[in-house]
Chain A
Amino acid sequence: MTYPSFLWLIALPLVTAPLVYLAGRLGKRIGQRVLAQGAAIASLLAAWMPFILASVELRIYGPHSFAAEAISLRLDGMGLLLAGLSLGLGTLVVLFSGSYMANEAGEEKYYAMLVAMIGVMIGLGCTGDLFNLWIWFEAMAVSSYLLVAFYRDQPASLEAGIKYLVQSAAGSVLVLLGIGLVLSQTGTLDLMEILTIAETSPLMLAAGALFLIGFGVKTALVPLHTWLPDAHAQAPSGISAMLSGVVIEAGMIAMLRSLLALTGVESLWGPLLMGFGALNMLAGNLLAFGQKQVKRMLAYSSLVHIGYMLVGLGITFYAGESGGAQGGLFHMLNHGLMKGMAFLAAGTLLYALHLSLGDHKPLLIADLAGAAKRYPIAALTLSLAVLGLGGLPPLAGFMSKWQIFVAGFETHNAWIGALVAFAALNSVFSLAYYAPLVNAVYRLEPSESVLSGKPLSGLMKVPLIVLGLATVAIGIWPALLDWLTVPAGATVLVGLGG
């Protein structure tokens, strides 16, 4: 029996996570604290090998599945995209965390949990079974609870952790009820079979609504987003980058998978996704606008970007053309890179100005005044990231937004046209809170906290430089990522029966 390489891709991080923990314990005992980080880097670098093989296999053979008895694992474009995103950002975050976490107790748990979370997210992208999707999803949630509440001496981060736990656990119960409804009607849990068997019935509509709400908690659809700003702002910065760049996107992929299985049932999902998209953009922008803390502002801006992705995916659900989904998934990648970069850059500054001096105060925008003079690279990448998020032309964010907008106009539907115009307006409006940040960093005189900050270590800058180069490169040459986004967009179409 031969195992396809994507199985190794899933298994490698999961198997090595306990080893990372053990290496960390050993490192503590013999006084080599870098051992945990080294093991985590080695584990993730090793996972790149099967990733490359799997992407080549996907290119040659197309989507293929591996049946483990009743449950099938399946590698398709969407799974590969999520794997690439989580592995890519994960590797950079582990690199970044070296000096950021150096003074924290329990860093071996941090690295082991991070590696396990990456493996779980890759698995979540590849499963072809509804209940198996739930258990991957739950494993992802459990692995992120500790990471959110990592500073367990800080009341704020404990609160963020418990809020996150209660809300996502309630959401996952709703998903379970939806799974029960689907099982009772179709008698199967395989997503492909459900797609062919399911008939239109109010029960299936209820199941879809439960999936939308249940997974929507993790994806931060607007009335269900209240955990997000706390969790993203209170977690260690590397985790903020992972949460914002990959975890909410993984929730969205889970939602897409379950809804795609029900597309034969109902044509309502497209408009619903677009409606939530509009709500997310508006609410996210309004909430981000008044923020004084950098990380909270970035967290709220995640809501806006989830909105763009939902609009793109909703267009495809509605019109059946792959352009919207492709744009939405392309934006998912770009958002991961840019928001990851923004959180890591904010993290370096937070570390330099506050954490390394031993205080856990939040990083305010006012603290960053004149940061460019002392921390040129962090300031440059932070500015690049927020300008890219705002959608300024030669950067990555512009390209994917543009693709979504074009797909919207090509439907020749007045409502979708209006929605896309609304999205474009929101994109312009978002500059209203991104621009002051850039202004503060470059134009103002250095603030007291900048002058008293510590210098940065070299290794922290490496992920920033890599992400910055990637953002510019994708912006200039968007076809660079076609090998990931085109098959992923096609996956959505397959689900829609196109």
Chain B
Amino acid sequence: MLEAILFALPILTALLAGIQAIRTRSLIRSALWLAGVSASIAVLFYMLGAHQVAVIELSVGAGLVTVLFVFAIGIAGAEIQPQRPIVPKTLAWVLILVAILLLAGFALPFATTVQHSTEPETTSVFWQQRGLDVIVQVVLIFCGVLGLLGVLAEEKAPLDQPMVDEIAAERERDLRNLEYQSSQSMVSSQQGQTR
């Protein structure tokens, strides 16, 4: 019983922070509440005996992602919006509650732990046994970075591109034409005046 109460603390914090992250209207606050969810989940991980993930969750989830969010909000501007939901709120609540209760009804009575033989250390599970996951993860990171570059990069045409030279030459030509025409019209108007 004592253990359950001990576990309930981070769980409740996580849920509260999650609700707050959705309810608050300021984006920055929302991102900070997300960091709260992350931190309490990390505590929970630690209590469940998953020490490495706890560390990673704390540094990546609560740290890095929050910084990135704050950064993105800084660029995009923290506009505060009225909450006009896409789906009516009550409908959303009812839908979600039904789905969750169904799942819970299925899942909870069968939740038991099974005893297996001892298994190797996390590092060896991660790097060796599931090494292929790591490789695919590298591919995923490559795609993600490329995607980030593709979406965000400011495309200023590099100066050594032939296109740019062409455009510059064209503009030069146009400018000269314009000068020539204006000087011509000046000349003609002056001639008109002298007549």
Q: Is B truly associated with A? A: yes
Give A residues with C-beta under 8 Å from B: 14, 17-18, 21, 28-29, 31, 68-71, 73, 105-106, 109-110, 112-113, 116-117, 119-120, 123, 129, 131-132, 135-136, 138-139, 142-143, 145-146, 149-150, 152, 161, 181, 184-185, 187, 201-203, 205-206
Selected A-B contacts with CB under 8 Å, 17 pairs: A21-B146, A68-B132, A69-B132, A70-B125, A105-B157, A106-B153, A109-B146, A109-B149, A109-B150, A120-B139, A135-B137, A139-B140, A142-B144, A143-B143, A143-B147, A146-B143, A146-B147
Given known contacts A106-B155, A120-B139, A181-B107, A146 and B132 CB-to-CB distance under 8 angstroms: no
Q: Give the complex CA separation of A131 and B133 in angstroms.
A: 8
B146 touches A112 (CB 8 A): yes
Total A-B contacts with CB atoms under 8 angstroms apart: 102
**A184: B residues at CB distance < 8 A:** 111
Give B residues with C-beta under 8 Å from A: 103, 106-107, 110-111, 114, 116, 125, 128-133, 136-137, 139-140, 142-144, 146-147, 149-151, 153, 155, 157-158, 160-162
**A181: B residues at CB distance < 8 A:** 107
**B139: A residues at CB distance < 8 A:** 14, 116, 119-120, 139
A132 touches B106 (CB 8 A): no
How far does the Cβ of A122 sit from chain B's closest Cβ, in whole Å?
A: 12
Give the dominant DSSP class at B's interface: helix
Residue on A with the closest CB to B151? A152
Residue on A with the closest CB to B111? A184
B142 touches A206 (CB 8 A): no
Q: Which of A17, A110, A132 is B142 in contact with, Cβ under 8 Å?
A: A17
Q: Which 3 pairs between the two chains have the least Cβ-Cβ distance? A: A146-B147, A70-B129, A143-B143
Q: Give the complex CA separation of A301 and B122 in angstroms.
A: 47
How far does the Cβ of A478 sit from chain B's closest Cβ, in whole Å?
A: 36
**B130: A residues at CB distance < 8 A:** 69-71, 131-132
B103 touches A206 (CB 8 A): yes
**A129: B residues at CB distance < 8 A:** 132
How far does the Cβ of B28 sit from chain A's closest Cβ, in whole Å?
A: 21
Residue on B with the closest CB to A109? B150
Given known contacts A14-B139, A68-B131, A146 and B110 CB-to-CB distance under 8 angstroms: no
Q: Give the complex CA separation of A131 and B143 in angstroms.
A: 19
Given known contacts A68-B132, A135-B133, A187 and B140 CB-to-CB distance under 8 angstroms: no
How far does the Cβ of B60 sit from chain A's closest Cβ, in whole Å?
A: 16
Residue on A with the closest CB to B157? A105
A203 touches B107 (CB 8 A): yes
Given known contacts A17-B142, A70-B129, A181-B107, A145 and B136 CB-to-CB distance under 8 angstroms: no
A206 touches B107 (CB 8 A): yes
How far does the Cβ of B172 sit from chain A's closest Cβ, in whole Å?
A: 20
B143 touches A116 (CB 8 A): yes
**A120: B residues at CB distance < 8 A:** 136, 139, 143
A28 touches B158 (CB 8 A): yes
Q: Give the complex CA separation of A21 and B145 in angstroms.
A: 12
A28 touches B142 (CB 8 A): no
Residue on A with the closest CB to B134? A135
How far does the Cβ of A226 sit from chain B's closest Cβ, in whole Å?
A: 12
How far does the Cβ of A373 sit from chain B's closest Cβ, in whole Å?
A: 34
B147 touches A142 (CB 8 A): yes
How far does the Cβ of B147 sit from chain A's closest Cβ, in whole Å?
A: 4
Q: Which of B103, B129, B143, B155 is A139 in contact with, Cβ under 8 Å?
A: B143
